[in-house]
Amino acid sequence: MNYTNPEEQHVLRVDLTTGELRLEVIDVEDVRRFLGGRGIAAALLARAIDPPVDPLSAAAPLIFSMGTLTGTNAPMSGRSNVTFVSPATGLYCKANVGGHFGLYCRMNGIDFIVVHGASETPVTLSIGPLGAEIRDATSIWGDRVRATTRSLEKASDRPVSVACIGPAGEHGVLYASIMSSFYNATARGGGGAVMGSKRLKAIAVERPSGIIRVADSDGFQRIQREMREDLYADSMADSYYTYGTAASVDVMNETKTLPSYNFQRGSIDTIEQLTSQYWNETGLLKRRVGCASCIYSCHRFIRIDEGPYAGACSGGPEYETVSSLGSGPGVSDIGAVQRANELCNDLGLDTISAGGTIQWAMETFERGLLSPEQADGIDLQFGSEQAITELPRRIAYRQGIGDLLADGTRRAAKRIGGESWKWAVQARGLEQSRVETRGAMGYALAFAMNPRGPDHLHTECLAEFGMTPEMIGLIEKITGDAKYARPDITEKRPEIVRYHEDIYAVSDALGLCAFITTAAYGGTPQRCAELFEAFTGLSTSAQEIMLAGRRIITLERLINLRLGWTENAGDYAPWRLMNERQEDLSFANPILDVERMTGMVREYYGLHEWEEKTGVPTAAVVQRLELEEFAHAS
């Protein structure tokens, strides 16, 4: 499709109950206020829900959103989002994914897919140049991700990009993922379970030959070339390409900041095989993989060639998976970790929550609250390769102990009882991603304020570590002094978090990989504003685009309040991380406690013009951000 009006964005509404499909045009005012992608998807969700909302009911919508720049040659512009009410938390959730799914949708003239209702029988949604169609999927219901994807690719005359669920989504695992390709995962929060509850097995999008028109083509090309050059020159560029996201595993292990043994320790004794350096040197790395428009190719693809796990292959493992399924459970054999990673991807499981839940089970077993009989005879001691390679199957199919673990650590701890909730490293029902927040105060605050739960893919504030000149420079720009480029202090953390969450929201709305705005720094607010204006023809500035990011953050807060969020009850870290020291941390001042967290949270509220004690956005800021429509319903 050729866009005749670049500022227009289009939503395909799909009612699986009635079978109705219709295409609508997004109000240009929403494009101006929310930029696209994640921002407009949040507005669509807010307008569609009528609390109380059962996330797994037909009434709960599932929204796929492509970034405004997705499908262009802007560097790293291949991202898309899925937005829904999370079955794990009962709150707002957006999950981001790369690959080529968003590119194919944009090339078909689709910016958003809003799925309503639920089908009585399994179906797929097929999208192509000739339109969209709901098709029977009975024959592939029950298939794993790889088999599902291959079946849909074989059934099409054109190249297709497939977003699908595996058995975990079909069985309602509360951290089931939606997989776009064999290993690009829309993982966090349980979107796969929402998709499964609708009996929607997959969305298959054909690749057409259309182009996407740009309002100012010459200006757009100039800006994206300048951004590309800056990104190549960034201090982190070579590391991302050479070693990927697991580049610093060995350093983190040395500094005792690699979450291990369910966040009880910061290192494991044998780390070598879990490092990207080892994969490169031993030939386990078979290729580097990039998403659409990527210039870094940070994804790995490794295959185990010999030993008991010979043949195990998948994308990654990424850093989060290395820690969740490796150091976290105390496993150092890369073969076992890659087999577990492969299983999670093929079954459609979030590796972070799967690994976190397995670690909780290990500690619960070692503390005597889970018996060998309850463990189905599986060795649940830390270091057990059997646990990480066998439990994903049982979780995905809810078999035996897998049924307990399929609901995540918060619910599992309630069922088991005792003090098992203390080592359930979660907040709001989402297992924490693998950052040692007892030694990184900016991350601790960012995780506490993340509306979906404690993880990094909402506010990545890597710059607080000051590892490169660009990171130090950014912290100085945000705070006025480079001395704040250290992670173990609370001073200026609210300002650092607010900048990063705003620019991250902009990234998600535009379809940009957050690496270029929050981990490498060529994606400045100015460049993002220039690209948006050149593409859409809508006038904006760096200040206005960051204000749009802040508008998205406040809208997400309003949605959670509407969904039953009790003021600031959830704005804290997991209990273990605020109440138990990690003795081998090497930072000088690594204590995270309720007092420190409360102080940072209150200051953060003030920066946002939210009520100091409750975190509820004030009427004044709601009006200034043009969010009255959503505040009235909260």
Instruction: Return the pLDDT at 1.
Output: 40
Mean pLDDT of 11-24: 97
- Tens of pLDDT along 174-225? 999 999 988 899 999 999 999 999 999 999 999 987 778 899 999 999 999 9
Mean pLDDT of 563-588: 77
Mean pLDDT of 290-297: 89
Structure tokens at 406: 């399929």
- Tens of pLDDT along 371-405? 999 999 999 999 999 999 999 999 999 999 999 99
> How many CA atoms lie less than 13 Å away from 108 in the CB half-sphere?
29
Structure tokens at 382: 């830390």
pLDDT band for position 442 (cuts 50, 70, 90)? very high
- Residue 36, pLDDT > 50, answer yes
- Tens of pLDDT along 343-365? 999 999 999 999 999 999 999 99
- Residue 634, pLDDT > 50, answer no
Strand partners, 93: 84
Q: Which residues contact 455 (CB under 8 A, 6 or more apart)?
A: 188, 352, 430, 432, 433, 447
CA–CA distance, 450 with 459 (Å, rounded to integer): 7
Instruction: Return the pLDDT at 567.
Output: 54
Structure tokens at 314: 């998948």
Instruction: Classify the C-alpha dihedral 596-598-601-606 as positive or negative.
Output: negative
Mean pLDDT of 53-66: 97
Structure tokens at 95: 């999950």
For tokens 């089908």, name the residue.
119
- pLDDT above 70 covers what percent of the chain? 97
In order, the DSSP letters of 495-514 are HHHHHHHHHHHHHHHHT--T
pLDDT band for position 305 (cuts 50, 70, 90)? very high
Instruction: Return the pLDDT at 178.
Output: 98
Q: Count CB neighbours of 419 within 10 A.
A: 13
Considering only 288-302, 432-446, 487-501, which range has the smallest mean pLDDT? 288-302
- Residue 7, pLDDT > 90, answer no
Mean pLDDT of 475-483: 97
CA–CA distance, 169 with 619 (Å, rounded to integer): 40
Q: What domains are there in the chain, each with its CATH number? A: 10-206 (3.60.9.10), 238-431 (1.10.569.10), 441-631 (1.10.599.10)
Structure tokens at 86: 């999370």
pLDDT band for position 612 (cuts 50, 70, 90)? confident
Pairing assessment for the beta strands 10-15 and 112-116 based on DSSP bridges: parallel
- Residue 611, pLDDT > 80, answer yes
pLDDT band for position 587 (cuts 50, 70, 90)? low
> How many CA atoms lie less than 13 Å away from 251 in the CB half-sphere?
8
Instruction: Return the pLDDT at 605.
Output: 95
Instruction: Return the pLDDT at 568.
Output: 54
- Residue 585, pLDDT > 90, answer no
Q: Do 513 and 294 meet the contact criterion of CB atoms below 8 Å apart?
A: yes
Instruction: Return the pLDDT at 590.
Output: 57
Amino acid at 352: I
Mean pLDDT of 41-70: 96
Q: Do 553 and 427 meet the contact criterion of CB atoms below 8 Å apart?
A: no
Q: Do 41 and 81 meet the contact criterion of CB atoms below 8 Å apart?
A: yes
Measured in whole angstroms, the distance separating CA 72 from the mean position of its chain's CA atoms is: 22
Instruction: Return the pLDDT at 4.
Output: 45
Q: Give a three-class secondary structure readout of 113-141.
A: EEEECCCCCCEEEEEECCEEEEEECCCCC
In order, the DSSP letters of 463-530 are GGG--SHHHHHHHHHHHS-GGG--TT--TTHHHHHHHHHHHHHHHHHHT--THHHHTS-SS-HHHHHH
pLDDT band for position 570 (cuts 50, 70, 90)? low
CA–CA distance, 54 with 38 (Å, rounded to integer): 22
Helix (H) / strand (E) containing 201: strand 200-206
Instruction: Return the pLDDT at 360.
Output: 98
Instruction: Return the pLDDT at 586.
Output: 62
In order, the DSSP letters of 11-26 are EEEEETTTTEEEEEEP
Instruction: Return the pLDDT at 2.
Output: 42
Q: Do 198 and 57 meet the contact criterion of CB atoms below 8 Å apart?
A: no
Instruction: Return the pLDDT at 308.
Output: 96
- Residue 591, pLDDT > 90, answer no
